[in-house]
Chains A and B, each alone.
Chain A
Amino acid sequence: MIISVGIIVIFLVIALFLGITASRGKDMSLEQWSVGGRGFGSIFIFLLMAGEIYTTNAFLGVSGWMYGKGGVAFYNIAMLNYVIAYWLTPKIWAYGKKHSLLSQSDFFEKAYNSRFLGMLVAVVGLAALIPYLIIQLKGLGIIVSEASYGAIDPKITIWIGTIAMIAYVMVSGIHGSAWTAVMKDFLILGVVLFLGIYLPIHYYGGIQAMWEAIEVVKPGFLTLPDTGFSASWYISTMMLTSLGFYMWPHTFVATFSAKNGNALRKNAIMLPIYALFLLFILFVGAAAILQVPGLEGGAVDLALFKISTQTFNPVIVGFIGAAGLLTAIVPGSLILMSAATLFAKNVVKPIRPQTTDQQIGIIARYSVPVIALVALYFTFSGGGAITLLFLMGYGLVTQFVPAVVCSFMKKNPLTLQGVFAGVIVGVTIVGWQAATGVHLSKLFPSWPSYIQDINIGFLALSVNVFVSLMVSIFTRKVFVKNDETIESI
């Protein structure tokens, strides 16, 4: 236990050191702090973005889903988002550079010429980010407490991890995240490759032998069920996540840090190959199915650690724990920074327009610990509803897609009012479903299951598009004689 925890602590100290020294020699204006002065080349941007793939969610969540749900978990390795990213992110970047934008809300504020829209986007973005941060913190607690064989209370680790995160985000901003991302990705790839190859061979004699053994005990577990998590759920979820990936406030902002559009295009092409390493996390989850049976509900997230502690000595468990720690604090710090920038620039500034840019920079930095504490509060008080909140987060941010895509068209079909109405309707559907847990099969029992199983976020998006267009057509007609009315609202 001392050995494994010692290794984790060493990596935490290195991460802190890298993060804090990363900012040396740079004046940390808000632009440097939050988008690295827009000077990051392909590799750095790549690591920042790819960091988004290898979060606690991938490490614990994907292996847990493989363990608990079987074939449904396969969708995790298909990152269709790169196809969309190839075309969309250079456009977002170019617009951001032209207008010196620092946050996602700035983009909406500029594109639709409305502070209120910027604020709405900031509030929805914050509502989606906080649960995402909570997931990282919860994961952090699980990882260290499991790696210490239960000796360390998860609460203590969560506190220490959070303080470390606050420290380097406040000092280094995005530079801290980028450097620790480099270390994280090397470590996680090593750990994932090792576990994913070693465990199937050790327990089953090979990878195919492992799948066959699972198929014997649980027939049909490696394909999709006919109802529930069926092919329609699978496909609509893949599409939802491919659309939502760059709509998170922090991933949206990460595109701004690129040096040029081609850095983002190359990055997009490389992304799926990088994501392929998730395959090995699937292998780990699959290996655990027959070796550590009996984990139910939320406990499936423990599958990776249960099989690791059962198989390996504390040194290896320590390295696995360290990799897990970094998957939580690196994305966590990026989320924290985006939330702080959003709050200062797009919530405080519109309310108090006389605030200077320098003050905004200070407010952004000092809201970091405040946001972290809010997330900590919910981490300790919240129960199993967290996963629901996370899915809700994806559903929420995806509602921005129509407004972003349309803003790049030669003639934007959407008006400000249309965007407002669409986003609010979409967000309401997602929030309402998450709060009540209603499934479409309850509401419309006569509909065929391939419609009932469609991911709710995807349905909300369709309604959003419809409402946005309708309201836009309507407002165009009403204000047709006075175009300025639309713009000034």
Chain B
Amino acid sequence: MTQKKVCYLLTFIAYFGMPLGVPFIKSAEPYILGLPFLLFWMVLWIFLGTGLMIIVHRINPDAEEEVE
């Protein structure tokens, strides 16, 4: 049950992490990896979010039940 809660918490972070930062980005600078900051922020969260969901999938008890 606690495993499930960790899953939900990580999912929550993966979903809201990126939108929460958006209102604070007021300038194209600093450029990171050649991208304007807003675009970099989006790309960063694609990787962070995917990483979080991979962890979720590893520990998600539902996912194990269906392995053939």
If the complex has contacts A231-B23, A261-B66, are A273 and B18 also in contact, measured as CB distance less than 8 A? no
Interface size class of B (residues with CB under 8 A): 20 to 34
Contact A78 B31 (CB under 8 A): no
Set B23, B43, B62: member contacting A77, Cβ < 8 A: B43
Task: Write out, one digit per residue, whether chain B residues 37-51 have a CB within 8 A of any chain A CB (1) or not (0).
Answer: 011001101100110
- Chain A neighbourhood of B39, CB < 8 A: 71, 74, 77, 222, 279, 282
Complex interface: chain A residues within 8 A of B34 (CB):
206-208, 211
Contact (Cβ within 8 A) B54 A269: yes
Query: Known: A77-B43, A272-B50. Contact between A83 and B15, CB under 8 A?
Result: yes
Q: Are A223 and B28 in contact (CB under 8 A)?
A: yes
Looking at the complex, which one of B38, B50, B53 makes contact with A224 (CB distance below 8 Å)?
B38
The answer to whether B11 touches A265, judged by C-beta atoms less than 8 angstroms apart, is: no
Q: CB distance A231 to B43 under 8 Å?
A: no
**Nearest Cβ in chain B — how far from A205, in angstroms?**
12
**A: interface residue count bin:** 35 or more
- For the complex, what is the distance from the CA of A222 to the CA of B40, rounded to whole Å? 12
Q: Give residues of chain A (220-264) contacting chain B, Cβ–Cβ below 8 Å.
A: 220, 222-224, 231-232, 234-235, 238-239, 242, 260-262
A74-B42, A224-B38 are contacts. A272–B57 as well, Cβ < 8 Å?
no
Q: Which of B4-60 contact A (CB under 8 A)?
A: 11, 14-15, 18-19, 22-23, 25-28, 31, 34-36, 38-39, 42-43, 45-46, 49-50, 53-54, 56-57, 60
Residue pair A80, B18 in contact (C-beta under 8 Å): yes
| Beta-carbon contact of A212 and B42 below 8 Å | no
Which residues in A have some Cβ–Cβ distance to B below 8 Å?
71, 74-75, 77-80, 82-84, 86-87, 90, 206-208, 211-212, 215, 220, 222-224, 231-232, 234-235, 238-239, 242, 260-262, 265-266, 268-269, 272-273, 275-276, 279, 282
Binding site for A on B (CB under 8 A): 11, 14-15, 18-19, 22-23, 25-28, 31, 34-36, 38-39, 42-43, 45-46, 49-50, 53-54, 56-57, 60, 62-63, 66-68
Nearest first, the 3 A-B pairs at minimum CB distance are A208-B34, A222-B28, A231-B23
